[in-house]
Amino acid sequence: MSREEKMRDLMARLASMSPEPPPFPEETPMARHQEPRRARPALVFAGAAALVIALAVPLLIFTGNGEPEVIATTTTTSTIPTTSTTASVTTTTTDATATTAVVLPTWSRPVFLYQAPVSSFVGNPALVPVWIEVSPVDPDVEFTEALAAVDDDLPDGLENAIPSDVEILGLRFEDGVWIADMNEAFLAGAGGLLADMTMLNQLIYTLIYPLPDAEVLFTVDGQPVETFGSEGLMLTEPVGRDEFLDQAHVINLSEPIVETDDGWIVRGRANVFEATLALNVLDGSGVVTHEEFVTASCGTGCWGEFEVTLDPDLIVPGESSIQLFQHSAQDGSAVDVITVPVPAGGVWSVTLGN
């Protein structure tokens, strides 16, 4: 018996167990009770501060080399800080509540933005992570606030699909899943199916970074999201980095372009013809100063990883750009092009609060 036949057999046996239908429901059954609506996490935390409830909130703190360090700390703050790159973490105590809060002097981490395709008829938005540093110091900063703030100060060619009123109210990590409690504005999506999926890709990739196998469960008021965006996407289960990847570009970056001792690292995932893509380095005037071919681990219908190390002399931070594309199987022309600027110092600085 083939696998398909076994599936049919399994379902036939399951269907044969079906009981008699219940009578027409004229009265409200016992099962139809509503659970009390959960208070918003922010309010829960505010109340918790008064009650001095000790909560162990794991905070994912990014150290200088980008490696995550999970710090378990006792805190009752009105905010759940998300991520930060700081040399040190300061702990403060407030007299009124006798609670401790982790103050994050600078908010800094990789954030996934997107680059629109040259033509919406021939491609989808490409995911491009950039290392963003947000200042001034603000312990209440949530990273979606920071994402909203970068709208006015985005790197060239990059855009943000996350609406400015979308916020993460709470964030915790359980068994490989980030549980992100969103505000109600999240449910409206970004305006259109493709924008919705781009927004989700940005959030998923930003949240799980740097753990590629982690997943995200989006909740609103603590409940999994049953209807999201313009098409009513069901998000009741955790979603990983592959969930909406087919709605992204065929070439995406999975790491910000950074300089190491070996050179500049360009790392990403692609689903291109014969797993072959081309890489150009452009100078500040857009002139090609270097070109090479890159092979991904898979292609022509499957997603493969690729990584290139470029000689440090090839890049002038703040001026150079990296261009990735594939050659058309029909006429050899450059198609599916993305162009990512290399920021001075490797980090885009964004000023919050205007």
What residues line the site for another protein (CB under 8 A)? 3-4, 6-8, 10-22, 24-25, 28-29, 31-32, 224, 226, 231-234, 236-237, 243, 246
Q: In the complex with another protein, which residue's Cβ is closer, 208 or 225?
A: 225
CB of 239 to another protein, least distance (A): 10
Rg for the chain (alpha carbons), in Å? 23
CB of 81 to another protein, least distance (A): 30
Q: In the complex with another protein, which residue's Cβ is closer, 226 or 311?
A: 226
CB of 193 to another protein, least distance (A): 9
Residue 304 · residue 294 · CB < 8 Å = no
Strands (E), 151-287: 168-174, 177-182, 215-220, 223-228, 233-235, 251-253, 258-260, 263-270, 276-282
CB of 6 to another protein, least distance (A): 5
Q: In the complex with another protein, which residue's Cβ is closer, 82 or 201?
A: 201
Mapped onto helix, strand or coil, the DSSP state of residue 205 is helix
C-alpha to C-alpha distance for 203 and 153, rounded to whole angstroms: 19
Q: In the complex with another protein, which residue's Cβ is closer, 187 or 347?
A: 187
Q: In the complex with another protein, which residue's Cβ is closer, 4 or 67?
A: 4
Task: Convert 46-67 into a string of H (helix), E (strand) and C (coil).
Answer: HHHHHHCCCEEEEEEEECCCCC
Contacts for 326 with CB less than 8 Å, ≥ 6 apart? 250, 251, 270, 272, 273, 276, 277, 278, 334, 335, 336
Cα 15 to the chain's mean position, in Å?
Answer: 40
Q: Is 250 exposed, middle or buried (0-12, 13-18, 19+ CB in 10 A)?
A: buried
CB of 277 to another protein, least distance (A): 24
CB of 20 to another protein, least distance (A): 7
Report angle CA 117, 303, 121 to the nearest 5 degrees: 25
